[in-house]
Amino acid sequence: MRSIERVGMPQGAESVANCFGDTAMTWGQGASGGGTLRPGEGGHLLTAYCRARGTRVRLAILNITINGCLLDLRSWSLRAGERVLIRLPGLTDLPAVLQWAEDGRGGLVFDQPLHEAVLRHLLHSSASRRGSLGEA
């Protein structure tokens, strides 16, 4: 039986929680900027640096929206409710909280949503990098 850790959901985080399920929206879908982009099977969108408890770790981002992201946590043990600073490519540290952790993945909710233009830039840059490497 899998255990799921969850903490209280911040206001406006519903689209983040929904995108972490088995079905995620594609970019441009969803209400009020809740769109997201997911990579192909087994891939990841971006890498980011996360800091918590005095430790800095590079993690793969599997899914991202303006409100938060899905992290691959297999290389780092964080627990639901922990506060982190996440540094997305080209941005400063963003405060966030780990909303849930399950099976080596975790849902991170940003304290302040990303601007939609910033998210589009991150996704476009990621797609350009993957395309230049010959990845799908």
Q: What is the pLDDT of residues 82-106, one digit of tens each?
A: 999 999 998 999 999 999 999 999 9
Alpha-carbon distance of 39 to 85, in angstroms, equals 23
Q: Report, as an integer, the average pLDDT of 35-42.
A: 45
For CA atoms 45, 122, 135, 60, give the dihedral sign. Answer: negative
Q: Report the candidate in 120, 83, 124, 98 with the shortest Cα–Cα distance to residue 17.
A: 98
CA distance 53 to 118: 28
Q: Is the pLDDT of residue 125 over 90?
A: no
Q: pLDDT higher for 59 or 45? A: 59
List, in order, residues 6 or more apart from 2 with CB less than 8 Å away. Answer: 102, 103
Q: What pLDDT, on the 0 to 100 scale, is given for residue 85?
A: 98
